[in-house]
Structure 1
Amino acid sequence: MRVVICDDSALFRRGLALLLRHLGVEVVAEIADVGELRPRLAAERVDVVILDIRMPPTFTDEGLTEAVGLRARFPELGVLVLSTYAEAAYATRLLEASPRGVGYLLKDNVENPSALRDALERVTSGGAVVDPEIIGMLVRARHEETLVNRLTDREREVLALMAEGRSNAAIARRLFVGAKTVEAHIAAVMTKLDLRPEPEDNRRVLAVLTWLRLGGGPLERVGG
């Protein structure tokens, strides 16, 4: 198995290369810039590229964008992206672009030699690998999305205004309804989001967090 490592951290590149060689994997190159990847891949045979998601110059999603592009240009190439942070949205974007021959692992778990070797073999054979922590996040997000879909348009409006930090009285004025009506909508939101009263939980905050995690925002984005 021939592998190229692309990561802006020299220390991480060298450590990962040592681990891979110990596993019997041939490290063809250690690269610090995604711009160097395609020329190298065009020049010689590579089975898998391992690259960090956050790369120069902006350290946002350069690695992920390159991973998607590499899969499109080199269909037989396996791509394993690594991240220090658990980003379910990044995993979704990667899998939607190419559900085969890709993987998404957290860097902390790359230190497990057997897990790393297994991930590389699965990606090389056209499979997909997703870190268990990311899978858990995706499952929770899907569950939350299902819960939010229970809400009526008016309940979504109320929740969006809650996300803006508005009080019940302010929500009532904004929607031209009575305070009791707002309280009834909020109670319905809590019930439909399965947010039961708990002594140590602020249900209002939890409801807003659920809304924001799913891309909700101010009332203007909801409509009405």
Structure 2
Amino acid sequence: MRVTLADDSVLLREGVARILAETGFTVVGQASDGDGLLELVRRDPPDVAVIDLRMPPGFSAEGIDAAVAIREEAPQVGLLLLSQYVEVHHALRLITQFDGGVGYLLKDRVSDLTSFANDVRRIAHGETVIDPELVTRLVRRRRESDPLDDLTARERAVLALMAQGMSNAAVAAELHLSVKTVESHISAIFVKLDLAPDDREHRRVRAVLTFLRA
């Protein structure tokens, strides 16, 4: 599996490149900013682009801007954004603006070689990966008028794993349930969150957005 990296920190970039190489990936290019990344992708599209969220010149959201451009020009390329901090608005932008094959992880996650490698592969295969720390922090910031109040503890657990980009089968394995039971929980979640079927919107995505915003 081929990966291109973009980060203005040479030390971090080389470290990620070494980790990826040690876990079976081929790093086909490295860039220090969004423009350099776009040139590399245009010249030789990888399976996944691993992108620092904040890069020159403004160190704000250049990584996501570069990801948007890549998705428009090379929609087959998976996109993994790395950030030093949990920034909810950026995570929500990824979920709403991209249809799969994307991820948002904290840079600390890179130190867990096996998990990081698995996350990159999941993104390459079209899944959405959200850092568990983001999900955990959002759960702790419950509002008084929480739209999730009507969910059972099991339904909340299912929804939390959905928010990490897990498939029904993966959720079932994580919670030691049957896939049919998970599907029943998801149906109940849709009903309790008042998410009626809609051809224009994906109910699963809408449920995850409700969870993240709550």
Q: TM-score range by the shorter chain?
A: 0.5 to 0.7
Query: What is the 5 A alignment of 1:26-175?
Result: 26-140=26-140, 143-144=142-143, 146-147=145-146
The answer for unaligned runs of 5 or more in structure 1 is 149-213, 215-224
Q: Paired residue for 2:3?
A: 3
- Within 2, Cα distance between the matches of 1:61 and 1:84? 12
- Within 1, Cα distance between the matches of 2:91 and 2:144? 17
Query: What is the 5 A alignment of 1:181-220?
Result: none
- Within 2, Cα distance between the matches of 1:145 and 1:48? 40
Q: Alpha carbons of 1:145 and 1:97: their partners in 2 closer, same or farther (altered >3 Å)?
A: farther
Residue 136 of structure 2 aligns with an amino acid whose one-letter code is G
CA contact (8 A) 2:5 2:37 kept: no
Q: What is the Cα deviation at residue 30 of structure 1? A: 1.4
CA contact (8 A) 1:88 1:137 kept: no
CA contact (8 A) 2:53 2:60 kept: yes
SS in 1 for 2:123: helix
- Within 2, Cα distance between the matches of 1:45 and 1:93? 23
- Quote the RMSD (CA, aligned, Å): 1.8
Q: What is the Cα deviation at residue 72 of structure 1? A: 2.7
The answer for unaligned runs of 5 or more in structure 2 is 148-212
**Cα deviations across residues 50-90 of structure 1 (Å, max 9, x unaligned)?**
01101111111111222223223221110000000011111
Q: Paired residue for 2:176?
A: none
- Within 1, Cα distance between the matches of 2:114 and 2:8? 24
Residue 17 of structure 1 aligns with an amino acid whose one-letter code is A
- Within 1, Cα distance between the matches of 2:138 and 2:98? 17
SS in 2 for 1:129: strand
Q: What is the Cα deviation at residue 140 of structure 1? A: 4.8
**Cα deviations across residues 31-59 of structure 1 (Å, max 9, x unaligned)?**
10110122211211310000110111111
Identity score, percent: 39
**Cα deviations across residues 124-147 of structure 1 (Å, max 9, x unaligned)?**
000010000112234455x42844
- Within 2, Cα distance between the matches of 1:112 and 1:44? 28
Residue 64 of structure 2 aligns with an amino acid whose one-letter code is L
- Within 2, Cα distance between the matches of 1:45 and 1:30? 12
CA contact (8 A) 2:6 2:32 kept: yes
**TM-score under structure 1 normalisation?**
0.62
- Aligned residue pairs total 148
CA contact (8 A) 1:68 1:94 kept: no
Q: Paired residue for 1:205?
A: none
Q: Paired residue for 1:18?
A: 18
- Within 2, Cα distance between the matches of 1:129 and 1:47? 15
Runs in 1 of length 4+ with deviation above 2 angstroms? 136-141, 143-148
CA contact (8 A) 1:55 1:62 kept: yes
Residue 86 of structure 1 aligns with an amino acid whose one-letter code is V
Q: Paired residue for 2:210?
A: none
- Within 2, Cα distance between the matches of 1:65 and 1:38? 11
